[in-house]
Amino acid sequence: MPAPFPSAHTAHPLTLPDGTTHPGTFLLKPLIDHPRIEVGDFTYASAFEPPEDWAAHLAPYLYPQSAERLIMGKFCQIADGVVFITSSANHRRDGFSTYPFAIFQSDFDSGRPSLPQGPGPDTVIGHDVWIGKEARILPGAQIGDGVIVGACAVVGGTVPPYSVVAGNPGRVVRRRFDKATIDRLLAVAWWTWPMERILHHEAAICGADLLALEAAAEAGPG
State residue 136 phi and psi, 5-degree precision. Answer: -120, 125
Q: Is the dihedral of CA 56, 58, 64, 67 positive or negative?
A: positive
Burial track 171-199 (b if 16+ CB lie within 10 A, e otherwise): ebeeeebeeeebebbeebebbebeeebbe
Q: Which of 9, 22, 91, 200 is catalytic?
A: 91
What pairing do the DSSP bridges indicate for beta strands 158-159 and 154-155?
A: unpaired
Catalytic, 91? Answer yes
Q: Which residues participate in catalysis according to the annotation?
A: 91
